[in-house]
Amino acid sequence: MKKCPYEEKIDLYLRRKLSETESAQFEEHYFNCPPCFQKTSERNELIEVIQRRGAFIFDPASSRRPEPRISLGEKVAAFLTPRRWVAASVTAALLLVVALAVVPRFKSHGPHFVFTGDETVRGESLAVLSPRGNVKAVPDSFEWKALNSAAEYQVTLSGLETLWTTTTQETKIALPEDLKNKLKAGSYTWQVKAYSAQGTLLAASPKVQFKILN
Amino acid sequence: MRESPVKIDLEQLIIQYKPVVSFKVKKALGGGNPEWEDIVNEILMQAIEKIKSGEFRGESSVGTFIYTITSRRIVDYIRQKTRVLKEIPEVQALPDPHDQVERDERAEQLAQAIRKLKPKFRDVLYLYYYKELSREEVAREMGISPARVSERVNYAQKLLKKMLGK
């Protein structure tokens, strides 16, 4: 439906923004144009209510005005002005420094395990290389694979009883000459245990049997 | 009495023009004026008499004819009132309480409906009709074009009509 050109003047007329002549022309028009009269009458009612009850209608305290929908990101962006960004960054950095300085002092120690015998820390393993199985002569040395976290190894040679125990930071150790001379043909076992720098047992190899044949 | 040269359904005329004349009279005299209804009736009676007597010959539209009678009657009333007021202080009669209750009820419904509008519509009504800013000022305030201000006002009005079930 084509819009009546006088519709543009409804607000101007009701807000008394038209001259006397224009106002009279507009009035004569709505006496002849039922749609324009209808719209003018409705708009007039709206304006009157707003002007009389505006304090109530637009009172933010009593209004049920819905809060604008703002996402969390927008809320944070609105809250963090450049000055607040700087303050937040400085605070975060200070907290981090304090945390790094203070927290280790209160750090609780992990449970201390005391290992006995062949118990090893789960996941660690210590493999011996030689001697093992049958050997033709008294071995010159004992050798095993390195354990990354180990600071020291303890080697034990046993026959019917413990014959020799020693420690080393290497992964190979020579058998002392005097002991070498004492060893005769027969079966022996040896074992190596790995210790941390604090003296904690990290791993123990299986007791490996070797047999000197002559 | 001359016979009217134009055939007009007088009953229809009253139905159609009573609200228009009432609107104009109330606008000119103020809705609180207790005499407005009498003046409206006088205007309509005068129009009917002139049509019946043939004084209205259809040279203008019926709307313009009734508008002319209305305007003259309002001017007469204001002149007469000014003269009377110089002699006797006016005693304001109270408006009809029944009408007043009905008007208040409708105004309350409309006010509640405005409060339920989305902010973009409510804000435009607030700035344009309550703060009485010009259309251009409202446009600047809201960061929209003046044409958009009119569109929002018109759309808000449609929404309100819908909300009130008109």
pLDDT higher than 60, residue B117:
yes
- Whether the pLDDT of residue A114 is over 60: the answer is no
A128 band by pLDDT with thresholds 50, 70 and 90: confident
Poorest-confidence range of A41-50, A143-152, B69-78, B115-124? A143-152
Tens of pLDDT, residue by residue over A33-52, are: 999 999 999 999 999 999 98
Interatomic CA distance for residues A1 and B35, integer angstroms = 39
Q: With contacts defined as CB-CB under 8 Å, which chain A residues touch B135? A: 11
How many CB atoms are located within 10 Å of the residue A214 CB?
Answer: 8
Report percent pLDDT > 90 for chain A.
31
CA angle B151, B155, B161 (to 5 degrees): 150
Confidence of residue A126 (pLDDT cuts 50, 70, 90): confident
Q: Judge: A31–B16 Cβ closer than 8 Å, yes or no.
A: no
Q: What confidence category does residue A117 fall into, taking pLDDT thresholds of 50, 70 and 90?
A: very low
Does the pLDDT value for residue B122 go beyond 50? Answer: yes
Q: How far apart are CA B128 and CA B153, in angstroms?
A: 9
Q: Which residues of B touch A48 (CB under 8 A)?
A: 107
Residue A50 confidence (pLDDT): 93
Measure CB to CB from residue A53 to each of B70, B107, B150 and give the nearest one.
B107
CB contacts < 8 Å between A and B, how many?
A: 84
Q: What is the pLDDT of residue A64?
A: 45
Alpha helices by DSSP H, A107-188: 177-182
Query: Which of A31, A38, A46, A56 should we substitute to test contact with B (largest number of B Cβ atoms within 10 Å)?
Result: A31
Strand partners for A209: A189
Nearest to A49 among B107, B118, B132 (CB): B107
Amino acid at position B45, single letter: M
Q: Are B67 and A50 an interchain contact pair (Cβ–Cβ within 8 Å)?
A: no
Q: Which two tokens stand for residue B93?
A: 């009669």
pLDDT in tens, A53-73: 888 888 876 544 444 445 566
Q: Torsions phi, psi of B122, nearest 5?
A: -65, -40
pLDDT score of A21: 94
Strand A162-168, strand A186-195: pairing: unpaired
- Predicted confidence band at A29 (pLDDT cuts at 50, 70, 90)? very high
Mean pLDDT of B115-130: 93
CATH level 2 (architecture), domain B113-164: Orthogonal Bundle (1.10)
Taking contacts as CB-CB distances below 8 angstroms, the residues of chain B near A3 are none
For chain B, the structural domain boundaries read: 10-87, 113-164
Interface residues from chain B to A (CB-CB < 8 Å): 16-17, 19-20, 23-24, 27, 61, 63-64, 66-67, 70-71, 106-107, 110-111, 114-116, 118-119, 122, 125-126, 128-130, 132, 135, 150, 153, 157, 160-161
Q: Which long-range contacts (CB under 8 A, 24 or more apart) does A53-60 make?
A: A53/B107, A53/B111, A54/B126, A54/B129, A54/B130, A56/B111, A57/B111, A57/B114, A57/B115, A57/B122, A57/B126, A57/B130, A58/B122, A58/B126, A58/B130
Averaged over B64-68, what is the pLDDT? 94
User: Tokens representing A30?
Assistant: 């709505």
Q: Which residue of B has its CA nearest to A17?
A: B134
Position B42 scores a pLDDT of 94
Query: How far apart (Å, rounded) are the C-alpha atoms in residues A24 and A40?
Result: 14
Between B88 and A84, the more confident residue is: A84
Confidence band for A132, pLDDT divided at 50, 70 and 90: confident
Among candidate residues B11, B91, B12, B161, the one with its CA nearest the CA of residue A39: B161
Percent of chain A with pLDDT over 70: 79
Subunit contact B23:A43, Cβ cutoff 8 A: no
Q: Looking at this predicted complex, what is its ipTM?
A: 0.84
Please, what CATH class does the domain formed by B10-87 belong to?
mainly alpha
| Cβ <8 Å between B110 and A46 | yes
Closest to B106 (Cα-Cα) out of B51, B161, B52, B24: B161
List pLDDT tens digits, range B136-163.
999 999 999 999 999 999 999 999 999 9
Q: Do A49 and B135 touch (CB under 8 A)?
A: no
Of B113, B152, B159, nearest to B135 (Cα)?
A: B152
Amino acid at A184: K
* Percent of chain B residues past pLDDT 90, beyond the cut: 58
Task: Please answer yes or no on whether A45 and B110 come within 8 Å at the CB atom.
Answer: yes
Contact B119 A58 (CB under 8 A): no
CB contact under 8 A, A11 and B153: yes
The 3-state secondary structure of A26-65, one letter per residue: HHHHHHHCHHHHHHHHHHHHHHHHHHHHHHHHCCCCCCCC
Does the pLDDT at position A130 exceed 50?
Answer: yes
List the structure tokens of A11: 């607000």
* Most confident option among A62-71, A201-210, B61-70: B61-70
Chain-chain contact of A41 with B23 (C-beta, under 8 angstroms) = yes
**Averaged pLDDT for residues B103-132:** 91
